[in-house]
């Protein structure tokens, strides 16, 4: 795409403070361009909604108190405690059942009740929902994020954790999850579940693969 036709936004800006003072902001600054009334409307969604307020306060405290000190697993545990969660749901890919079992073991050691549902639950054939037969090459049955979400709702989980659901399947899980969801593992079959590695090497090893 021609640079002249690019709609500039935060990803094209080098400033990180977003305070309008310590760093020079570009003319297209999204933050500086927001209307005062719109800012107030968004702020009210944090202050006026008890659940939003509870989640944001807990998250901010985790970030502040354990910055660069705890792993994501540890942060998730502390976050769940701050939210008062008792029962945690795990939506896992069958390819990460071993990791999910370890996570469950760790969570249970902290006193949480844990209920996990794998992606192949329900055993619905791909062809039953109109998926092309060529997709049977990697398995007969669908990954079923909607059923995962519904089964976790039946278990009345307080929070849910996503463990390596496929691209797109994770989106459907987030859509249908009855409660707040955080992600612990993002699947990348090529890069050992570290998709950011492709970005770190995008201008070197992976340049020919990623850029058009």
In a domain, 45, yes or no: no
Confirm whether 15 is domain-assigned: no
Domain assignment of residue 127, given as a range: 85-212
Task: Report whether pLDDT(35) > 80.
Answer: yes
The Cα–Cα gap between 29 and 172 comes to 32
- CATH (domain of 96): 3.40.50
Please check whether residue 54 lies inside any domain of the structure.
no
User: Which pTM value belongs to this model?
Assistant: 0.92
pLDDT tier for residue 11 given thresholds of 50, 70 and 90: confident
Please report whether residue 17 resides in a domain.
no
Query: How far is Cα 202 from Cα 42, in angstroms, rounded to an integer?
Result: 35
159-163 sheet: strands from edge to edge? 113-118, 87-92, 159-163, 181-185
- Whether residue 23 has pLDDT greater than 70: no
26 occurs within a structural domain: no
- What is the number of domains present in the chain? 1
pLDDT of 95? 96
Query: Which whole number is the average pLDDT over 86-94?
Result: 98
């Amino acid at each position: 795409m021609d640079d002249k036709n690019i709609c500039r936004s935060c990803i094209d800006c080098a400033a990180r403070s977003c305070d309008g003072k310590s760093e020079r902001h570009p003319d297209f600054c999204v933050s500086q361009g927001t209307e005062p009334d719109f800012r107030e409307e968004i702020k009210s969604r944090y202050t006026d909604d008890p659940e939003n307020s509870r989640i944001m306060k807990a998250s901010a405290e985790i970030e502040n108190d354990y910055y660069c000190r705890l792993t994501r697993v540890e942060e998730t545990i502390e976050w769940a405690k701050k939210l008062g969660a008792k029962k945690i749901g795990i939506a896992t890919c069958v390819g990460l059942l071993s990791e999910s079992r370890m996570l469950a073991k760790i969570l249970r050691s902290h006193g949480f009740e844990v209920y996990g549902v794998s992606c192949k639950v329900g055993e619905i054939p791909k062809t039953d929902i109109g998926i092309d037969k060529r997709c049977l090459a990697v398995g007969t049955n669908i990954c079923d994020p909607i059923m995962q979400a519904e089964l976790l709702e039946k278990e009345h989980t307080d929070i849910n954790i996503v463990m390596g659901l496929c691209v797109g399947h994770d989106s459907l899980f987030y859509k249908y999850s009855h409660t707040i969801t955080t992600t612990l593992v993002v699947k990348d079959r090529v890069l050992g579940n570290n998709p950011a590695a492709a970005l770190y090497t995008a201008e070197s090893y992976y340049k020919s693969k990623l850029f058009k």
